[in-house]
Structures are given as structure tokens and as C-alpha cells.
Copies of this chain bind each other. A is one copy, B any other.
Amino acid sequence: MTLALDIDKLTCVRAHRVLFEALSLVLTAGAFVSLQGPNGAGKTSLLRIIAGFLTPAAGIVRIRTETGAILTDGEDRARAVGWLGHQDAVKLQLTVGEQLSFWSKLYGDGAAALAPFGLAPLAEVPGQFLSAGQKRRLALARLTLTKRKLWLLDEPLAALDAAGKVLVAQSVRAHCAAGGIAIAATHEPLGVDGLTLHLGGP
């Protein structure tokens, strides 16, 4: 029920600029990493490389699953990743309920959990009418229903109120306690114990 992440000598080049070089990191079940660094340091780029979207200029990312399999191919790795991007992927035309039920069907049988994120009264509201924080809460609810072991979070606290931030911290803590791994790019402390990785910056 656990996995391990092995980042080996990654180098990322974007628009002819080296963002980071020979970055290595080994994470085992339960690890939490707070990814920090100034704007443009390459936090989002690193998360996209781990998720398998972006090919690094050099280096490799490996995931070891509980069965002992080692996933290096981007597409195999993808199946382990729970993604909370900077964008909320909220459709303006669909109601909150419709969106969550779609994603839960796409990802398998996880039931949509509206209540913990304060979305229950909004089930019938279309995405167009949501406030910024309500959209973010929808994205968080979707993340938890995917039941993935490796969480990649890009600014998870954005637009959330105090209660929402506590919720994120609780979710991440529970996730790690259950043997998951979480990496969060953030400019604000999440309030979860773990490593801190600094990118870029003098």
C-alpha cells in the first residue's frame, strides 16, 4: 500500500535557461516536501516533470510501487499521481455535483466528498457562479477522490480562507499518515511537518 519516489540528477531547461541542475531526492512512504523558491524558480516545472508531462533535459524519475515494480516511463508513473494544478480545471457550465461525479467516474469508484470541503450547499451551483475559493475547494475535493498515492500540489493554499488552509493541512497530514507522499509548491507555510526543498534563488 506504499510507494517510493526516486528523483535522480534531474536537470530542467526552459527557454534556453537552466532552472535547476542535477537535482536528486529520494522520498519514501509518508514523506512531505514543501517546495519553495522565488517566482520563476522552476517549482511548477519540477512538478510537471515528476508527473511525467515534461521531459527533463537530463536525469530520471522513478516510482517504486508496493509490488516492487519500478515505473520510469512517464505514462506508467502518471497512474500514481494525484494532481492539484495551479489552474482549478473547473468547468463554468457544469454544476459542482456534475463535475465531481464526472471525475470520480473517470478515476474509478471514489465517491465524491462534498461535505468536508464545504461544498455540500453548492452541489447544484454551476462553476460560473463560484467564488475563487469555492473553485479551489472543488479542485481539492477532486484531488482526494482520486485516491492516488503521490500528491503533487501547486500552490494548494491559493484563494483559500483560514478554514480552507487548515483543511488542506489536515488532508495532507492524513494522506501522508496513510503512507502517501506529498510535494507542495507553495509560497506560504502549509503547517505540515516535513522536508523543505529550495529551488533557485541566490
Partner pick for A161 among B38, B131, B159, B160, CB 8 A cutoff: B38
Q: Tell yes or no: A118 within 8 A of B by CB.
A: yes
Distance (whole angstroms) from the CB of A159 to the closest CB of chain B? 6
Asked if A131 contacts B163 (CB within 8 A), the reply is: no
Distance (whole angstroms) from the CB of A114 to the closest CB of chain B? 14
Complex Cα distance A90/B40, Å?
A: 16
Residues of B within 8 A of A137 (CB): 39
Distance (whole angstroms) from the CB of A177 to the closest CB of chain B? 26
Tally of this chain's copies: 2
Residues of B within 8 A of A40 (CB): 130-131, 133-134
Chain B residue at minimum C-beta to C-beta distance from A40: B131
Asked if B39 contacts A161 (CB within 8 A), the reply is: yes
Count residues of chain A with CB under 8 A from any CB of chain B.
32
Asked if B158 contacts A158 (CB within 8 A), the reply is: yes
Residues of B within 8 A of A187 (CB): 133, 159-162, 164-165
A interface secondary structure, majority = loop
Asked if A164 contacts B39 (CB within 8 A), the reply is: yes
List residues 153-202 of chain A with CB under 8 A from any CB of chain B.
Answer: 154-155, 158-165, 187-188
Q: Tell yes or no: A86 within 8 A of B by CB.
A: yes
Partner pick for A134 among B39, B129, B133, CB 8 A cutoff: B39
Chain B residue at minimum C-beta to C-beta distance from A117: B39
A38-B163 CB under 8 A given contacts A15-B125, A125-B15: yes
Complex Cα distance A160/B38, Å?
A: 8
Residues of B within 8 A of A43 (CB): 131
24 pairs of residues in contact across A and B, judged by CB atoms under 8 Å: A37-B161, A38-B133, A38-B161, A38-B163, A39-B132, A39-B133, A39-B137, A39-B159, A39-B160, A40-B133, A40-B134, A41-B161, A43-B131, A44-B131, A86-B159, A132-B154, A132-B155, A133-B187, A155-B159, A158-B158, A158-B159, A161-B187, A164-B187, A165-B187
